[in-house]
Structure 1
Amino acid sequence: MSLKKILSQDQFSELAESESFLLVKHSLTCPVSQAAFEEYQQFAEENDVNTAYLTVQEARPLSNYVAEKYSVKHESPQAILFRNGEAVWNASHWKITVKSLREAIQAQ
């Protein structure tokens, strides 16, 4: 599965029209964020899941938009699972692992 980087609300809105997708927010300067992003990359490679990511430094307005629209407090790193237009699960920091992502996808 290829990783899709998004930068704009238009790109996010396209994803939001799908039945479900996983969004990961991460920072280019934080070691914890880098570790979480590596877990996400491994998960995306091993699973056929609609997924995208944004880097907070490059897409701050989009990151803020997602936090406000879906009432999910911004954190970085952060993984958010969307189903049918709703944020149904999220995790941050060390809680973003291949295992936690897999369990979230299966539980929802």
Structure 2
Amino acid sequence: MTRHRRRLRRWATGPVGRTRAALLSELGEPLSTPDLAARLGVTAGAVSQHLGALRAAGLVTTRRTGRTAVHLRTRTGTVLTAEPSGRPGPGTAGTTADAPNG
């Protein structure tokens, strides 16, 4: 196991928790709540609750287009998931949001 994976495992089992860490990892690209729920095998309600906590911590931003909300990591969220080399971590498509969006 690489140092990066060990660091992520400690982080995920600590105060953030595995589901929130998995959500943050998936949000390297904009995804909707139903998409995240399907990817993680949890309910949309559970995803919404976890996203609320991640958003309050400044790690995720949400943008609405009509009736669809899409979620994306902030730069801070990306830093937390980055590999020690400074490269973005798993699930990163190279996009991040500048700051949480109300």
Give the TM-score normalised by the residue count of structure 2.
0.33
**Larger radius of gyration, structure 1 or 2?**
2
- Structure holding more strand per residue: 1
Q: Which structure has the higher relative contact order (CA within 8 Å, separation 6+)?
A: 1
Instruction: Give the structure-1-normalised TM-score.
Output: 0.32
